[in-house]
Structure 1
Amino acid sequence: MWPSRNRTETVTCLACGTDRPRDEAREYDKYGDRWDREGKTFEHLCKSCHSDLCHHPRDELEALLVDLEAGRRNRDAFLARYLSTVEERYGPLEEES
């Protein structure tokens, strides 16, 4: 049987944790390729959190986070290691003006 068209699916924003109707959210693909949909499940961001994201390419980011054991260290230790590793691999961090 086909699902009802007027059924509103609710999703949870992975950034702020709020529940939103699916049509008020954006799909998030941690690999940055939301167009290749085969075999994927997507997480979601509310429109506000989505607009706050940096939309620059994030090549190598997922692998870097795995290498640095993101989510397994306390926040301060992780951030210190992240900053030093990024500088080591890509050069000094400087803000563009």
Structure 2
Amino acid sequence: MWPSRTRTETVTCLACGTERPRDEAREYDKHGDRWDRDDKTFEHLCKSCHRDLCHHPRDELEALLVDLEAGGTDRERFLSRYLQTVEERYGALEESER
């Protein structure tokens, strides 16, 4: 039987930690493929945090994180290496105006 559409599901934003009704949030799939729903559990972002995300494709991100040993080194060293590698591969980084 299908769940009732009148039931309000509450989700927690993975970025800021606030709880919101499901219809006030956006699904987040860390693999960037939210349309393939087989055997997936989605995390959620509130609309404000979702707007603040960079929505550029991240096709090579997982491989880059593995190359840089993400999680295997301290944060400061990782971020330094990440910024350097991204600039070498893709050019200078720019901040967008909000």
- Per-residue deviation, 1:93: 1.8
1:78 matched residue in structure 2: 78
1:11 matched residue in structure 2: 11
Q: Is the 8 A contact 1:12 1:18 kept in 2?
A: yes
Query: Could you list the runs of 5+ residues in structure 2 that have no partner in the other structure?
Result: none
Distance 1:66 1:28, change over 3 A: same
State the percentage of identical aligned residues.
81
Q: Is the 8 A contact 2:87 2:93 kept in 1?
A: no
Per the normalisation by structure 1, the TM-score is 0.80
1:68 matched residue in structure 2: 68
Per the normalisation by structure 2, the TM-score is 0.80
1:42 matched residue in structure 2: 42
Over the aligned positions, Cα root-mean-square deviation in angstroms equals 2.2
- Other structure's SS at 1:33 match: coil
Query: Could you list the runs of 5+ residues in structure 1 that have no partner in the other structure?
Result: none
1:95 matched residue in structure 2: 94
Partner AA of 1:84 in structure 2: Q
Of 67-76 and 10-19, deviating more is 67-76
- Per-residue deviation, 1:38: 0.7
Of 73-82 and 19-28, deviating more is 73-82
Aligned length: 96
- Per-residue deviation, 1:55: 0.9
The residue correspondences of 1:15-26 to structure 2 (distance < 5 A) are 15-26=15-26
